[in-house]
Amino acid sequence: MNKVALITGASRGIGRVIVNKLAEKGYNVVITAKTIDNNNNLPGTIYDVQNEISNKYKNVSSLAMQLDVRNYNQMKDVVKKTIKEYGKIDAVIHNAGALHWKSINETYHNKYDLINNINSRASFLLSQLCLKYMKHDGYGHIIMHSPPLPNPTDIDIYKNKTAYMISKLGMTMTAMGIASEYKGTGIAANTIWPS
C-alpha cells in the first residue's frame, strides 16, 4: 500500500518538485494550493501538477484540492477528504509560504498578519489536524520549510525581515514541539531550509 503525502503550495516551484519526487518514490500525493485557474503572470495550477503526475507515474494516485492555508475550514476539509480517499496521512510537507522582507516600520499590520497566518499559524494548525491520524497509525512525518533556530546573539539575521523571521521561526518551533511531544511514537517532525 502506497504511503500518502499531503503537500501545501504545490502548484508550482519547490512544491511541484516535491510532489514529483514523492510520486517517483511511490507516494500517493495530495496536491494543495490556492491556484486552480491558469494565470499568465503566475503559471501553474494544482490540476496542472495532477495531470503531470498522472501522465508520468502510473503506480500512484493523486488528489488535487484547493487550499488557502489561512482558511481553517478548508484545512479541515482537505484532511477529511484525504482520510476518506486513502484512510491515512503519512507525511505533511508545509511548503506554502509568504515572503515579506521589510523593516519593522515598513511592515504594516496586514502584511504581518498575512505572513504569520500563512507560515506559522497554518503549519501549526494543519499539523494538529493530521497528528491525530498519525498517532492512530503510529507513524507520520511532518516537514516544515523553515530555518534552524539561530544563534541568539546573531541579531543581524533579523534586520529588515523581523516579521518574516518570526513567522518562519514559529514553524521551526512547531516542528520542535511535535518532535518533543511525539518522541517514541513513530511520528517525526523536521525542518528543511532550501537555499
| CB half-sphere exposure, 2, CA atoms < 13 A | 20
The H or E element that residue 6 is part of is strand 4-7
Alpha-carbon gap, residue 165 to 93, rounded angstroms: 19
Q: Which of 27, 86, 133, 164 is catalytic?
A: 164
What's the N-to-C CA distance of the chain in angstroms?
34
Any catalytic annotation for residue 164?
Answer: yes
Q: How far apart are CA 176 and CA 126, in angstroms?
A: 15
What is the amino acid identity at position 157?
Answer: I
Q: Which residues are catalytic?
A: 164
